[in-house]
Structure 1
Amino acid sequence: MLGQDPERNMHMGLTGWHPYCARPNRPVQFPAGRNRMGLVAAWLLTLLAIAGGAMAQTAPVSELHDLIALAEQHEQAHHWLAAAAVYVQLVERDPDNVAWREALRRCLTQERIRQRYQDTRLRAWLGQVPLDDALAVYGEFLGYAEHLFFGKASPATMWRRSCEQLDWALDNPAFVELAFHQPPDSECKQRIRELLRQAHAIAPQSFQELLQQLGRQARRLYVREQMRPALTVWECLAASCEALDAYGEYLTPTALLLEKMLADPHTASPGLEISPTDHGLIVAAVVPGSDAARSGVPIGSRLIAVDGEPVEQESLEGFWLRLLGRKGSTVAITVITPAGQTRQWTLSRGVAMPASLSRLTMLDAMHGVAYVRIESFQPGTVREFDRALQELSSQGMRALVLDLRSNRGGLVRAALELADRFIPEGTLAVLQSRLPESSHQYLAQRGDDWYLPVVVLVDRETASAAEILAGALQAHARTGRIQAVIVGQPTRGKGEVQYDLPLARGQAGASRMTVAQWILPDGEAVSGRGLQPDVLVKPTLPGDTHTQALLADESAMQQAIEHAILEVARREALRLLKVE
């Protein structure tokens, strides 16, 4: 049944837009709908976006040793984003180079550490929390890991990751500022690293042993090197959250507040698109038609204040918490323009969630083949979809091409409700968790609102909720209940479900943790395997002379590939309609 909803606080990982995440080669922009993007993956995508722009603006460097030297230079200057951009290029040259991949991971971690300890709410919490209370919060996290985590949590792995991350944090000014009353010299850092090396060899076998070991090491580092024990515990907490799996992460108190703000459909932005850099937040673009566009906010401006409050040392989550607000309200921004002028604008927040459906049309009006593209699943997606199909039906729709390419998911409930429009009976999906009371079987209950052939387009970026919709249609098509075919490339395989589990009732932030997974109607899990299309289509062009000429024009090439893919989808729709 679709009545009871066990999905409260549910996250499906790489889904939708996020204020501190960009798709590759695009600036960061206001999210389309509720946030479903884990920060670990978010930062990686952001850095890939930055890498594309940063390396394009850097003079070509052909020699590997020059690139390596440049990356090391950025790291020494604590420019983690710039260093990561160089390591991305190195990894692209040699994906099997373990050292470069590890260096990229180190830079990603350092940037997360910097952002974490710029959070003003977390800084206030850590400034007054005693060691026993910090350990109690870590114990609360371990309780979640032991009883809720959908997987096998390894105390030894969590401990090793904690020691490693503490070692790296010693080179991060944001951590060092809070962890020590006086900046440690190189000899002090070396002694701490020796203590961490010894601790790294310890392999706790239980969560209780892990907690006891953390308490001993925190006290030891304080007594010997005056390193504040609460900071030791907190960095180990963040490392342990990430050590559980690829989607685990620690959310600061401000990040948790931002999640709640994003869940409010009345939240809006003034229309700024932002790119984070090592030197601050830059206006990368403005949304057409927004107040930022009408006011002429210059592209490339560096943001220095929001409503008179400086943001140069603010965390990224803190910045967005200040910039976003209720639709129709105003916000004052202060920037330094590319010309070096300090300017201020008061902007109206008017850019709310973009539409879920980016395109609808008749792909083949003669035979009634309609086309709808869904960018993400949001609270209004089902309503938009129903209106779109009513309109297309009035134009003679007999078959539908449903485009889910690059759809990273969103609200699973919306995807299930769309599946319920096409599937007359049976299971839509099953939510499987360690707790029987949290597991749930979703059944079709509306009947067949739209009993027509469906061609679903997918690619490697199709994930989570989009995979659940496509997988439900594919499974029921194979039983003969409906007519549907999946066309494109294998999907991402993201079926894990994350909850934001509050720590100290949210005052200490939250642990985003995988607590369940989705199972398709055929009994197969989405996680790890993804969906295999019924018709495999690779986004390539033939090698004839005309096609080769297109390669000189990237836009023309992409249009030709898109046309070829849509033609395959159209032909599959005609096949289902039995049109010769």
Structure 2
Amino acid sequence: MSEEAQYNERPRNQNNSFSRDRFDAGQRRQSRDYFDNNIDNQKLRELIRELQQRSMPQYDRNRYETEFPNQYPVDPNQELRNKISQRYSSPSVVGTLQNLDPQRAYSFYLEVNRMIDSRHVQPPSYDVRTRKSLQNLILAVENQNFINANRVAASPEQIRMAQQSWQQLMNQNPARNAQDSVTVMRQAADIAGSQLRMQATGVIYEFAYGSLEALDKHSRFEFTPSYSGPRVDAGDNSVVGVGVQLKTHRDGAVILRTLNGGAAQKAGLQRGDVIVGVNQRNLAGLSLDEVANLITGPAGSSVALDVRREDRNARVNLSRQAIQITNISEVKMVDSQQKIGLIRLEKFGEGAVQELDRALWSLHQQGMKSLVFDLRGNPGGLLTEAIAISNRFVPSGKIVSTRGRNQSDNTLETATHDQTWKIPLVVLVDGDSASASEIFAAAIQENRRGLIIGRKTYGKGTVQTHFPLQSVSGTFWLTTAKFYSPTGREMAGVGVNPDVTVNMSERELEEVGPVDRDLKAGVSAILSHKPGELVNNMSGRQQTRPVQFQFSG
């Protein structure tokens, strides 16, 4: 069992070369007419539209998004519809469902809820979980992917009758305990079997997901894939692709950076280039997840990218290859005269502190006198790595505390490293810096060890514990604690405010120009000598460099 403090709204597999914006952009751009666009049945569309109109509140002009005057009113169920659509588009989720029989599905449901009862930081009532599960079912039977996965064979009228029956179950007496919830689940399964000719497995599966989705947004299932998809991992620390990190753009995707040794870097692609087409397909309007799926593919295969740089366009043919994925993506001197080093940490994954030690030693040998530590876009990772890396810079004082329902979830971590790096330090953050990144940034800021520069961080503030599942092949990442800054400030929903804010408009953030304004501000801060003053006020226990590290490999 391991713990992570990880931002979970990025794509679930962190070993990839794409921006966390992939997941967010995919959610935002899902069409509210998803079901209408996927079922060629006019009568069924009309019935579902009628049901939606009955259940949806009336909207006035003030409920419309002001930035997009022609946008539909916000549908309160749209987020759930998107989740269901994404769920049954996932081969691992569908594969797990199809490998279950009703008894194993029931065991899965019980295992999930027992874990929630015993370990979740704030478990919801069984009534909340049960209602969420029924709501899932009512909306799921409108989704073609769900219908296909569960082999639903029913007419539009039968679907409507099943939805009405499930709605009646929601209106019954509340589920007071686990047994009441199981009773409702069995009744829901009977309705599915009699009216939709649907097996109970799919109903129980959605009840397990309903229990999950009644929790916080960071708890999740992670099933072990038993399939071969277009993105083929070449090992735990590699991924097949062209080696780019992307951010959403209205015309496709903009390159944030290229990965060392990747095909994109070798071809001369660079930060700020906009990918507008893949294999002659226009990317305008696609989600970042869709763009990424078009770019990736089997190792050795080719892909043609249409790239725009300023007002010039070019087609670049690249060969996909396995790229080693590391925690640290960039180590260099950004100012050779002033001896300012840069380290970019992509995630706090296993072995991150060892990579950091090697990077620091390399820069030290080049004469580094100060450091810019880049955590922009870093979604977090392992709590243990965040603590260990904080120890490399903070000589004494609190680093982070965690508080949960169980005594074992309550911890206080303090700096214990006898010899830390005494160098002026600037940390770059943005709205995508989350969790473990926020632990480190708060430890640096509140111990007055360095300056935080950029934009307010995400504000995740929770710790997930990794529980291997016994009933299915996979893992349950469950929120078991919240974490607090060195001064005792709760981080959830708050984040870290920078000492120096670099304001950017939405357009500037999207365009990703060739000049890195955050880095420029970081270098300017170092030259102002403020970070140097902070480090000089720290404990005399610090040394100019670690003297007892031994590196292997």
TM-score after normalising by structure 2: 0.70
Residue 463 of structure 1 aligns with an amino acid whose one-letter code is A
Q: Which of 7, 11, 20 is the aligned partner of 2:2?
A: 7
1:383 equivalent in alignment to 2:393: no
Quick one: structure 1 residues 208 and 46, their matched pair in 2 at CA, closer, same or farther if it must change by over 3 Å? same
- How much has 1:241 moved relative to structure 2? 0.8
Mapping for residues 40-439 of structure 1, pairs under 5 Å: 43-48=23-28, 71=31, 74-78=34-38, 91=65, 93=67, 99-100=73-74, 102=76, 104-116=78-90, 119=93, 121-126=95-100, 129-130=101-102, 132-180=103-151, 182=153, 184-202=154-172, 203-254=174-225, 265-269=236-240, 271=242, 290=262, 300-301=278-279, 350-354=322-326, 356-363=328-335, 365-366=337-338, 369-439=340-410
Corresponding residue for residue 415 of structure 2 = 444
Quick one: distance in 1 between partners of 2:254 and 2:455? 32
Give the structure with the larger helix fraction: 1
1:511 aligns with 2:476: yes
- Equivalents in 2 of 1:243, 1:98: separation in Å? 27
Matches of 1:15 and 1:421 in 2, distance apart? 29
Letter in 1 for 2:479: T
1:415-463 per-position Cα deviation (integer Å, ceiling 9, x unaligned): 2222111222344323433222344443433213212332323222221
Contact kept? 2:340, 2:523, Cα under 8 Å: no
2:433 maps to which residue?
462
Number of residue pairs aligned between Structure 1 and Structure 2: 471
Alignment partners' CA distance in 2, 1:292 and 1:540: 27
8 Å contact 2:428–2:519 — kept in the other structure?
Answer: no
For structure 2, list consecutive stretches of 5 or more residues without a partner in the other structure: 40-63, 247-251, 268-275, 282-288, 307-318, 537-553
| Cα 1:175/1:396, change in 2 over 3 Å | closer
Name the Cα RMSD after superposition: 4.7
Question: Is the Cα contact below 8 Å between 1:12 and 1:495 reproduced in 2?
Answer: no
The residue aligned with 1:528 is 493
SS in 2 for 1:410: strand
Equivalent residue, structure 2, for 1:342: none
How far the C-alpha of 1:237 sits from its partner, in A, is 1.4
Shift of residue 350, structure 1, vs aligned partner:
2.8
Q: 1:302 to 1:222 in 2, by over 3 A?
A: farther
Give 1:512 shift: 3.0
Judged with a 3 Å threshold, the aligned counterparts in structure 2 of structure 1 residues 511 and 42 are, in CA distance, closer, same or farther, namely farther
Shift in Å, 1:107: 4.2
Q: Is the 8 A contact 2:454 2:502 kept in 1?
A: yes
Query: Match of 1:158, SS?
Result: helix
Q: In structure 1, how many angstroms separate the alpha carbons of the residues matched to 2:170 and 2:476?
A: 23
Q: Distance in 2 between matches of 1:19 and 1:114?
A: 17
Secondary structure of residue in 2 paired with 1:377: coil
When residues 100 and 382 of structure 1 are mapped into structure 2, their CA distance, relative to the original with a 3 A threshold, is same
Partner Cα distance (1:442, 1:255) in 2:
39
Q: CA deviation at 1:465?
A: 0.9
Whole-angstrom CA distance in 2 between matches of 1:450 and 1:398: 10
Give the SS at the match of 2:350. Answer: coil
Structure 1: distance between partners of 2:513 and 2:18:
29
In the alignment, structure 1 residue 573 sits paired with structure 2 residue 543: no
Classify 1:137/1:382 alpha carbon distance in 2 versus 1 (closer, same or farther; 3 Å): closer
Q: CA–CA distance in 1 between the matches of 2:227 and 2:464?
A: 14
The unaligned stretches of length 5 or more in structure 1 are 1-5, 22-28, 52-70, 80-89, 276-281, 304-315, 325-329, 339-346, 478-482, 542-549
Q: Could you say what secondary structure the match of 1:115 adopts? A: coil
Shift of 1:563: 2.9
User: One-letter code of the match for 1:13?
Assistant: Y
TM-score by length of 1: 0.67
Report SS of the residue matched to 2:135.
helix
CA contact (8 A) 1:421 1:447 kept: no
Q: Which whole-Å deviations, capped at 9, do the CAs of 1:220-275 have from their partners, x for residues lacking one?
A: 432354332111111121122122111133334428999xx989645442547799
